[in-house]
A and B are shown apart, each in its own frame.
Chain A
Amino acid sequence: MPLPAPVWLLRTLLLLTFFLHVLFMNCLLGGTAIALVSMIRRKSSAFSAQLAGDLGRLLPSVFAFTITLGVAPLLFLQVMYGQFLYASSILIGVPWLAIIAMVIVAYYGVYIYSLHKQSGMTTAVLGLVVLLLAAIAFIYSNNFTLMLSPERWLEIYRSNAGGWNLNWSEPSLLPRYLHFMLSAFAVSGLGLLVLGLRQKAEDYRRWLIEQGSMLFTGATILNFGVGFWFLAKLPVATRLAFIGGNGFATALLGIGMLLPLAAIAHLIMAKAHKSPKRQLLIGIGCGVVTVAVMVVMRDILRNLALAPYFDPNQLPVAPQWGIIVIFVLLFVGGLATLYYMLRKVAIGARMQATAAEKLP
């Protein structure tokens, strides 16, 4: 069947929505882990206890956004790459479908943590949530590497047709997973910075910024090592493309390595500054753009791996322009509605805070 839209449009939407999904997903994965550490430290550190409380209020919404923003890229991915994704999903059917149950349990776990008083029980629930999210991420890494290796499908299918498989024979599986996990910690470090910048209490604000900077810097430095390991485990042709073979891919890799260094530099400079806000915002900006660059590199990697089998540009296209226009209009309307609602909440919250201050 022909594609219902030109490839450039589908790819733009795929990458844009995936980028937004990744930001929230990283904050969820890293945020629950930070919350867990904060819960463990809550008795020895007042700031940790406070952070655990703040994250408890934030994480359910972050979870909701992660899922909502995950649906769109999955949709656009299926249009272009469905024939690969369906096959690899079936091969690992059991863990793949288990994701749904795991998400439900983890989601309710986050709510349990959020709605109950801090206790050993909520810490344990949070620990389970972190494990589940890490496992879900691992299954995703398995499927999204397996869909790129049609040459290994038949062997895996013959070994188990019941879907009890993972993609263990993929050389890049572990470095890729670790690379993405460390990124999640780095991005949630940026999340802590944002949280810190919004605080009024000076001590807590400074503590959050310090913790966030440390987390981002540490995870990013480790990720350089893991990134090279990942690169080394890619198939030769793909690897060569990223180190000179393909100009665009190589340039992105270069930018993708420089940007996080720039981010770290700004975070360090912010430490010495009296009013570090500007430096921090530039640092956060560099970090977020790094994620966007990585998302594009990931797409290039996918297309290089599938090049022997398939080129989406060769697919027949019969765009449904009328409906695309309706989608765009509704999308803009949806964003406007979202803006309206969030603005109302912000105004209401501010008025509430002012009213509370006026009380004797």
Chain B
Amino acid sequence: MNYPVWQLGFPGGLLIAAVAVLHVFISHFAVGGGAYLVLTERRAYAHNDLELLGYVKLHSKFFALLTVVLGAVTGVGIWFTIGLVSPEATSSLIHTFVWGWAIEWVFFFVEIAAALIYAYHWDTLDRKTHLIIGWIYFVAAWLSLVVINGIITYMLTPGRWLETRSFWDGFFNPTYWPSLWARTAMAAALAGMFGLVTAMRERSPLRERVVRWAGWWLVLGIAALLPLSRWYFHDFPAYSRAYFSGTYTALQHALRGGLACAAAALLLAVVFALLRPKMMNPVVVAVLLVAGFGVMGSGEYLREFSRYPYVINSYIYANDIRMAQVQSITANGVAGTSSWVDANAADPNAYGGQLFAMQCGSCHAVDGYRGMRRISRGWDAKFASELLLHMPVVRATMPPFVGDEHDRAALGSYLASLAPATPSGANEKELGQQVFAMHCAMCHSVGGRRRPLDFKGTDPDAIVSMVGSLHDMSPDMPSFSGTDAQRHALAVYLSNPSQ
């Protein structure tokens, strides 16, 4: 409400996801890869293995080029992006955790300096000092995860912070530890994956030695990740744990996809790295990287999804509206609260469009991914504005609509204007099916899992009268806004949907 809305043409959340997934993929490598470098270097010294030492030198330069540039700058990129998409939440995070970030910044500059010295001063430093620099790097990198993990987990499970507003309560929140160890395990797995990337440049027999060594990192990392993730997800808030058993197909896909990627990575690593290292080749390494990206992406997606309808649990909604503001916005209206909307625009739908950008735009656009034109096809203004009263019931992941009656009517009529359509059909049943799609399918299914309606064999006239009093049956249902003919057609369809 306090900020303009960046109207991108696609959900702002997608932009954050794109930048963030790239960043976490590299930054976790930056943590695990540090330990991988020093331990590989130590191994090379212990076995007096000069070939292995040559490999670590090569790998350290690849590591520095990837993490110091792309890893670090995409991290700044997340900051830029969240400030653009969720300024209210970003401001709140900064006010709560500025000193956490300041501490992370200390680790960040030590990390960057150590990475560059480690990668580019192999010949300048003696072995012992070089190893010490490597350890300094790893400890600083892991500590930066220790700090940032507190802020990320706080957003999902702020715990006692909600009452105390204390830094430490927010930081060491209920999912802090499982998340930290799960991320550390992922970091080890990624260290192995990227270790394989540079191993492909080596020749036999060094190549097999490195492949097996990196393979162990990958296998142990993923093997540890699975139970740790389970522990992590187990500590999610009760409301979002319910999402996992619910009917959110995107979430189910992400969960299964993530598990499949983890299983594939584990299997490929065991076979091609541990058992038959000679057979490891760039194609398998590429598949492993994609699988690793899948595991990471899935984990982050599940965490973000589980946070809906909030961006900071029980404090700020996903659309950047503070819960504490809801009452006053409802009383004063959006136009009376925010100077960024224009309630007097000439086009009657313009104001509704601005409300749409403000309250729906972080997850929805008009077209494309989660596009509302597809979803709102055939809605009329009355139905749409009534539906807005029940957003958290329509989907538990959605924040409530916030505004006064005028706002709700404006947004309703805007939504109705996106894809006006009148249900039609060759016969009454086809017509009924369309009426169902336009008026009921948001919340119900026939023969599906989402709040299934089973009126098979019921007398259509009984259904007709029921449809007339929906709002009395449940205060969460909007009243039916179609014509009598449509209502009858709907009843005919529901009484005999299968044929």
Q: Determine the chain B residues whose CB is within 8 A of the CB of A333 once the complex forms.
A: 106
Q: Are A100 and B74 in contact (CB under 8 A)?
A: yes
Q: Are A341 and B91 in contact (CB under 8 A)?
A: no
Tell me the bound Cα distance from A324 to B167 in angstroms.
11
Tell me the bound Cα distance from A3 to B99 in angstroms.
11
Considering only residues 103-120 of chain B, those with a C-beta below 8 Å from chain A are 103, 105-110, 112-114, 116-117
Q: Are B69 and A4 in contact (CB under 8 A)?
A: no
Tell me the bound Cα distance from A324 to B98 in angstroms.
10
Tell me, rounded to whole Å, the shortest Cβ–Cβ distance linking A161 to chain B: 4
B74-110 to A contact mask, C-beta < 8 Å, 1/0: 1011011101100100111011101111110111111
Q: Are A341 and B109 in contact (CB under 8 A)?
A: no
**B492 beta carbon closer than 8 Å to chain A:** no
Q: Are B84 and A93 in contact (CB under 8 A)?
A: yes
Q: Determine the chain B residues whose CB is within 8 A of the CB of A334 once the complex forms.
A: 106-107, 109-110
**A201 beta carbon closer than 8 Å to chain B:** no
Tell me, rounded to whole Å, the shortest Cβ–Cβ distance linking A337 to chain B: 5
**A352 beta carbon closer than 8 Å to chain B:** yes
Nearest residue (CB) in B for A1 is: B95
Q: Are A341 and B3 in contact (CB under 8 A)?
A: no
Q: Are A76 and B68 in contact (CB under 8 A)?
A: no
**A268 beta carbon closer than 8 Å to chain B:** no
Tell me the bound Cα distance from A93 to B105 in angstroms.
25
B124-132, B151-159, B279-287, B445-453 - interface stretch: B124-132
**B186 beta carbon closer than 8 Å to chain A:** no
Tell me, rounded to whole Å, the shortest Cβ–Cβ distance linking A223 to chain B: 29
Q: Determine the chain A residues whose CB is within 8 A of the CB of B129 once the complex forms.
A: 344, 348
Interface size (B, Cβ < 8 Å)?
62
Q: Are B94 and A64 in contact (CB under 8 A)?
A: no
Considering only residues 1-46 of chain B, those with a C-beta below 8 Å from chain A are 2-9, 15, 19
Q: Are A68 and B95 in contact (CB under 8 A)?
A: no
- A79/B95 contact (C-beta < 8 A), A72-B102, A100-B76 known: yes
Nearest residue (CB) in B for A2 is: B95
Tell me, rounded to whole Å, the shortest Cβ–Cβ distance linking B143 to chain A: 9
Pair count A-B, CB < 8 A: 180
**B65 beta carbon closer than 8 Å to chain A:** yes
A100-136 to B contact mask, C-beta < 8 Å, 1/0: 1001100110010000000000000000000000000
**A258 beta carbon closer than 8 Å to chain B:** no
Partner of A90, one of B87, B121, B125: B87
Q: Are A76 and B98 in contact (CB under 8 A)?
A: yes
Q: Are A162 and B108 in contact (CB under 8 A)?
A: no
Nearest residue (CB) in A for B132 is: A344
Considering only residues 150-171 of chain A, those with a C-beta below 8 Å from chain B are 153-154, 157-158, 161-163
**A75 beta carbon closer than 8 Å to chain B:** yes
Q: Are B126 and A348 in contact (CB under 8 A)?
A: yes
Q: Determine the chain A residues whose CB is within 8 A of the CB of B79 once the complex forms.
A: 74
Partner of A327, one of B8, B99, B140: B99
Interface size (A, Cβ < 8 Å)?
64
Main secondary structure of the interface of B (DSSP, over half): helix
Q: Are A79 and B98 in contact (CB under 8 A)?
A: yes
Q: Are B112 and A75 in contact (CB under 8 A)?
A: no
**B339 beta carbon closer than 8 Å to chain A:** yes
Tell me the bound Cα distance from A337 to B117 in angstroms.
12
Tell me the bound Cα distance from A107 to B80 in angstroms.
18
Tell me the bound Cα distance from A83 to B94 in angstroms.
12
Q: Determine the chain A residues whose CB is within 8 A of the CB of B108 once the complex forms.
A: 68, 71
Q: Determine the chain A residues whose CB is within 8 A of the CB of B114 once the complex forms.
A: 341
Q: Determine the chain A residues whose CB is within 8 A of the CB of B92 once the complex forms.
A: 1
Tell me the bound Cα distance from A350 to B103 in angstroms.
33
Considering only residues 317-332 of chain A, those with a C-beta below 8 Å from chain B are 320, 322-324, 326-327, 330-331
Q: Are B7 and A161 in contact (CB under 8 A)?
A: yes
**B340 beta carbon closer than 8 Å to chain A:** yes
**B136 beta carbon closer than 8 Å to chain A:** yes
Q: Are B74 and A67 in contact (CB under 8 A)?
A: no
Partner of B103, one of A74, A78, A327: A327
Partner of A75, one of B6, B105, B339, B357: B105
**B123 beta carbon closer than 8 Å to chain A:** yes
Nearest residue (CB) in A for B106 is: A334
Q: Are A104 and B95 in contact (CB under 8 A)?
A: no
Tell me the bound Cα distance from A322 to B102 in angstroms.
14
Tell me, rounded to whole Å, the shortest Cβ–Cβ distance linking B290 to chain A: 22
Considering only residues 187-240 of chain B, those with a C-beta below 8 Å from chain A are none
Nearest residue (CB) in B for A93 is: B6
Tell me, rounded to whole Å, the shortest Cβ–Cβ distance linking A123 to chain B: 21
**A61 beta carbon closer than 8 Å to chain B:** yes
**B73 beta carbon closer than 8 Å to chain A:** yes
Q: Determine the chain B residues whose CB is within 8 A of the CB of A103 once the complex forms.
A: 73, 76
Q: Determine the chain B residues whose CB is within 8 A of the CB of A104 once the complex forms.
A: 69-70, 73-74
Tell me, rounded to whole Å, the shortest Cβ–Cβ distance linking B94 to chain A: 5
Tell me the bound Cα distance from A3 to B95 in angstroms.
6
**With A86-B84, A163-B8, A341-B117 given, can you name 9 additional A-B contacts, CB distance below 8 Å?**
A4-B98, A64-B72, A67-B76, A72-B102, A78-B91, A82-B90, A91-B4, A327-B99, A327-B103
What are 27 A-to-B residue pairs whose CB atoms are below 8 Å?
A: A1-B91, A1-B96, A5-B99, A64-B72, A72-B105, A74-B76, A74-B79, A75-B105, A76-B98, A78-B91, A82-B94, A87-B3, A89-B80, A90-B6, A90-B84, A93-B6, A100-B80, A104-B70, A111-B69, A161-B6, A162-B7, A163-B7, A327-B106, A330-B103, A330-B106, A338-B113, A349-B124
**Top 3 closest pairs, chain A to chain B, by CB:** A86-B87, A348-B124, A100-B77
